[in-house]
Structure 1
Amino acid sequence: MKASFYRYMIAAFAAASMAATGLAFAQVDAAKSTITATSKQMNVPVEGKFKKFDAKVNFDPAKPAASSAQLTVDVGSYDLGDDSYNEQVRGKEWFDAKAFPKATFVSSAIAPAGAGKFTVTGALTIKGKTQNVSFPMTVAQQAGAQTFDGALPISRLKFDIGTGEWKDTSTVADEVTIKFHIVVPKKA
C-alpha cells in the first residue's frame, strides 16, 4: 500500500518534471513519452508510471531564455502495476485524486548548462501545494523530433503526500524521483 502510493506520487512529480523540460508548443508524442515516479519503500525502489499527461512546450535551443513549458498530469492515471495499490494511492492519504485530480508544472526559466543541457526552474503543484523547483534537463534532436529527458527529486511530505501513518519516513522514504522522457515532433 505504501509502495503504491509512493510510486503514484513519484509519477506525478515525474510528470511535472517533464512539463518543466520545455517541450515545444507542439503536440507531445504520448506513445513515445513517459513520466515515472520512483520512491523507496523499506529501502526498496518502487516505480510507477503516469499514463495520462499533457505538455505544452515552446523550446528554442538557440534562445532557451525565451522558451517555456507547462505540464499537466492526471494523478489518477498513476499505475503501480496492481489495481489495489493504484486505488490506495488515489485516496486521501496519498494523492487525493478526487479533490486534486491534476498535478502541474509551469516553467519560469530555462537556462543553458552545457552542450545539450539546461537547467529548468518553475512551480510544481501537487495536491494543492506549490513548491519552486529546479532540475537538469537534456535536449536532443532525433529523427524529426526533439527529446527532453530529466529527473527531479522532490520531498513528498512538502506536498502532503502520505498523511497520517504514512508520514513516517522509515517505511516510505520522503524523497521521490520523477523522471521524464518527452518526445515532441519537430514543426514542419
Structure 2
Amino acid sequence: MNALRKTLICLLLLSASGLASAADAWRLDPVHTRVLFKVDHAGFSQALGLFPDVQGELRFDPADWTTARLEVRIPLARLQIGDDGWRDKLLTRPFFDAADFPEARFVSSRVEPVDANHARVFGQLSLRGVEHEVMLDVRLNQLARHPLTFRRTAGFSATAELDRRDFGMDSWPNVIGQRVTLEIQAEATLTRNDQERNDADPEHR
C-alpha cells in the first residue's frame, strides 16, 4: 500500500511539474514596449504621456491563457510628455511622486480568456505606494520568429481604464480629468532556456 501511495504521489508531482513548465518564460523587450496614457485636459483635448523602457517578465502558453502570469515595472522618471516643465510637475508629489516611488508595478492575479487571441488580464497596479486592481483588455497580435533576430517573439496590444483618484492623485480636478485611459504596445521574447527548448522542438521551427 505504501509503495502504491508513493507511486501515485510521484505521478502527481510529475504531472504538476509538466503543467508548470507548459507556460514558457518570456521577457518584455524594453525597446518595443510602451505605455501611453490619455487624460482629459480641461475639456480642450486629450493630454498624452508616454512611458518607455518598460521592463517585465511573462509566463505564457498560447494554448492556455489561464496559466499566464505577468509582472511589469514602469520607470516613472522616464515620462515623456512633450514639455519639460509640465513633465517635471507631473513627477512631483501631487501626481506621480517619482522621488519617493520611482517605479509603478503591475502584477497579474488571474487571466480570463475570451478567444484564442484575446483575454482579460486582472492584476494589482502599485502606484505612489497604493495598490488597486486594474483590468487589461489584451490582444495577441502575433507569435512567431522575429524576421531579424530569429527569436520567438510575441506581440501584444492592450487597453485599460483607471481613476487617478484611486491612487491618491486628486489635484487640479478642474484641469485634469479623473479617468485615465492606458494604451499598451508590448513585445516579448523567449528567455534563453525556453528558446533552446523550443529550437529543439520540430513543432516550433
| TM-score, length basis structure 1 | 0.80
| Distance in structure 2 (CA, Å) of the matches to 1:178 and 1:104 | 14
Aligned position for 1:78: 79
Aligned position for 1:110: 111
Q: Cα gap change, 1:67/1:115 in structure 2, threshold over 3 Å: closer, same or farther?
A: closer
Runs of 4+ with deviation above 3 angstroms: none
Aligned position for 1:160: 168
| Distance in structure 1 (CA, Å) of the matches to 2:47 and 2:118 | 28
Aligned position for 2:183: 179
| Distance in structure 2 (CA, Å) of the matches to 1:133 and 1:76 | 22
Q: CA deviation at 1:62?
A: 0.9
Runs of at least 5 residues in structure 2 that lack an aligned partner in the other structure: 1-23, 146-152, 200-205
| Distance in structure 1 (CA, Å) of the matches to 2:27 and 2:114 | 26
Aligned position for 2:98: 97
Q: CA deviation at 1:142?
A: 4.8
Q: CA deviation at 1:100?
A: 0.9
Aligned position for 2:35: 35
| Distance in structure 1 (CA, Å) of the matches to 2:59 and 2:41 | 37
Return the structure number with greater relative CO, CA threshold 8 A, min gap 6. Answer: 1
| Distance in structure 1 (CA, Å) of the matches to 2:175 and 2:88 | 19
| Distance in structure 2 (CA, Å) of the matches to 1:29 and 1:113 | 25
SS in 2 for 1:157: helix
Please report the RMSD computed on the Cα atoms of aligned residues, expressed in angstroms: 1.7
Runs of at least 5 residues in structure 1 that lack an aligned partner in the other structure: 1-23
Deviations 1:101-127 (A, max 9, x none): 111100011121123000101111111
- Percent same amino acid among aligned pairs? 22
Instruction: Give the conservation status (yes or no) of the 8 Å contact 2:59–2:68.
Output: yes
Larger radius of gyration: 2
